[in-house]
Amino acid sequence: MQLRYATNLAVDQYIDSKAWKDAKLAHCPLHPKGGCKFAKHGTYPRKYPDGVKIARWYCPDGCATFSMLPDCLSSRLPGTLVEVEDVINQMESSPSQEAAAENIRLDIGLPGALRWMRRRLFLIRITLMLLIDLVTSLGDCQPTVSSFRSVLGTEFVLPQLRMFVSPYLDILPPPLGFGPRPEVKKLKKNHFQHQTGTDPP
């Protein structure tokens, strides 16, 4: 289970100061009254950015681990929230998603770049729509990063939102929240679709 590590450090500052050593979890989230064998469980590294470590705890009674994710990092996606926001900004300001992909992902082909970008756009749009419904003060916002930026008056929206809506993080999807990924609806198969190949006699 991921929990919020409240810190305003940028990722470089987090790495340089080894801020994971300062992360504290006073009690087991599963057993707030105590009585379990809750204990610190070391750290684990993130693949990207290089040098990032996340503090971790373990409850053997509940068979669960708990990690403290700093506000600068994405949940269940590599990189930082600022990097995710940069992708969404370019998509919102480009004439098309294909045009944005030419500037964002040069290391892979266009279809792969579009899938990579749309995954992030889908998760962020769902999150912003949920927040508009949950937080009455955001009622004038549209489900776009640019709209939230103008209402909140901040340079980077996503790190600010993680602090602002911390009570809802357990139900919000990644990369902002710690809840489950929303499911993409699958189209039902047409049972009347004929088999591939030549027509029957």
pLDDT per residue over 73-104, tens digit each?
999 999 999 999 999 999 999 999 999 998 88
Mean pLDDT of 152-166: 92
Q: In this structure, are 96 and 164 located in the same domain?
A: yes
Band (pLDDT 50/70/90 cuts) for residue 123 is: very high
Residues 27 and 92 in one domain: no
User: What per-residue confidence (pLDDT) applies to 190?
Assistant: 53
Task: Pick the more confident residue, 191 or 106.
Answer: 106
Helix axes 81-93, 145-152, angle to 10 degrees: 110
pLDDT digits (tens, 9 = 90+) for 4-48: 999 999 999 999 999 999 999 989 999 999 889 999 999 999 998
pLDDT level of residue 128 (50, 70, 90 thresholds): very high
Q: Which residues contact 56 (CB under 8 A, 6 or more apart)?
A: 40, 41, 42, 43, 44, 65, 66, 67, 68
Judge if 95 and 60 occupy the same domain. Answer: no
162 in the same domain as 85: yes
Residue 87 has, within 13 A of its CA and on its CB side, a CA count of: 23
pLDDT reported for residue 103: 87
Domain that holds residue 60: 2-70
Q: Is residue 24 part of a domain?
A: yes
Evaluate if residue 152 carries a pLDDT over 60: yes
In the chain, how many domains are there?
Answer: 2
pLDDT at 141: 87
User: Which among 70, 89, 104 is the end of a domain?
Assistant: 70
Burial of 4 (0-12, 13-18, 19+ CB in 10 A): middle
Average model confidence (pLDDT) across the chain: 89
Measured distance CA(91)–CA(124) in Å, rounded? 12
Closest by Cα among 64, 15, 19 to 38: 64
Do 162 and 105 share a structural domain? yes
Least confident range from 33-47, 99-113, 121-135, 173-187: namely 173-187
Q: For residue 178, tell me if it sits in a domain.
A: no
Q: What is the pLDDT of residue 177?
A: 95
Judge whether 15 lies within some domain: yes
